[in-house]
Amino acid sequence: MSLEESDTVSTSVSSAAAFLSQSGGSDRRSSESSLPGSVGEADAALLDAYSRAVTGAVEQVSPSVVNIEVHQSRGRTRTGERREGSGGGSGFVFTPDGLILTNSHVVHDARRIGVKLPDGRRMSASAIGDDPASDLAVIRVDEPGLTAAILGDSQQLRVGQVVIAIGAPYGFQSTVTAGVVSALGRSLRSYSGRLIDDVVQTDASLNPGNSGGPLVDSAGRVVGVNTATILPAQGICFAIGINTAKFVASRLLRDGRIRRSYIGVSAQTVPVHRRVVRFYDLPKETGVIVLSSESGSPAQRAGLREGDVIVALEGQPVAGVDDLHRLLTDVRVGVSCSLLVLRHTEKLELLVVPEEAK
């Protein structure tokens, strides 16, 4: 091989090596861009955004979250002295002049109520009113200039939306859990036996000490009041929608209680025979059977008898006891109402005047 040919081969090898080097580097850069590291960076950015949303919401609402301590009467000793028990939960300030929203079961029948503010100050609180049927209560501390939480709109919630539960359980300030809205429009049985409608289900974990604390969205707006968890299950927790809480709180502030009507019957939901349903063209296949009525009650005065099946009130179908509860609102107190009942196979229309429930 001549020197000229050798130089040509050497030059070609060098050029090829340079090309391969460039090509390999380009391939490496291309392949590196598709490695999991880039996906990890995207995930990290997403997690950072999630973390910023949660921390921002917590920083905004935490100054409004309080710990509530209650002392309740638990009967008397053999010597006649009062036996007291203690309990507590969480709550949140919703007006700067010291109004606090919490659960009814946290403060119901409390003889003394104490509140611990986020800055560590302790003070006594007074009960404005509580409503066991919705498990909501309003208490007040005599302290102006408090930081009030911003109330949102629970009707705007969507399944899958990020929510944060904040509480002060057992004196630990600003305990935070985060999750998503699992379901909307749930119904939850209250301590009084009535159903609470439009309840928010979330997987943000709760414990009894979180009761009464706020459920907030990523913007730091309160969208619910944490109320319950199903203990045998994991990730099934409930909050009362803030729209319900706004209504209840306004009535408690105005009247000290929620006025509801009653007719004075002991009843249960039963199926109605299909032939009877078809014959009278009833909209529902179930009704409410009267097991007994209180002496002197509106039901007794209206002529309701044991065994009668209530199927409608003021033209609204009554498919069960919960339907009857929903229809017996404060607007029906003292107002004559049409009650449609089945007595054996006969359909009757009675007039009942509901009274205010005590």
Q: Where are the domains of the chain?
A: 63-257, 261-356
Map residue 41 onto helix, strand or coil.
helix
Task: State the sign of the Cα–Cα–Cα–Cα dihedral 236, 237, 240, 242.
Answer: negative
Q: CA dist 39 to 25, 45, 319, Å?
A: 21, 10, 54
Active-site option among 130, 131, 135, 217: 135
Number of separate helices (H) and strands (E) present in the chain:
7, 21
What is the second-level CATH architecture of the domain 261-356? Roll (2.30)
Instruction: Report the pLDDT averaged over residues 142-163.
Output: 94
Report which of residues 169 and 161 the model is more confident about: 161
Residue 137 tokens read as 């209560």
User: Among 5-19, 48-62, 241-255, which is the least confidently predicted range?
Assistant: 5-19
Q: How far apart are CA 338 and CA 168, in angstroms?
A: 48
User: Catalytic residue at 105?
Assistant: yes
Q: What percent of the chain has pLDDT over 70?
A: 82
Give me the pLDDT at residue 8, please: 45
19 alpha carbon, distance to own chain's centre: 66
Q: How confident is the model at residue 322, as a pLDDT?
A: 85
Residue tagged active-site, from 62, 104, 105, 190: 105
Cβ neighbours around 247 below 10 Å, total: 14
Give the pLDDT score at 2: 46
Please say if the pLDDT value at position 11 is more than 70.
no
Q: Which of 64, 154, 182, 211 is catalytic?
A: 211
Residue 211 is among the residues annotated as catalytic for this protein: yes
Report the pLDDT averaged over residues 281-291.
Answer: 94
* Residue range 63-257, CATH number: 2.40.10.120
User: What average pLDDT does range 333-349 have in this prediction?
Assistant: 95
Asked if residues 291 and 306 have their Cβ atoms less than 8 Å apart, the reply is yes
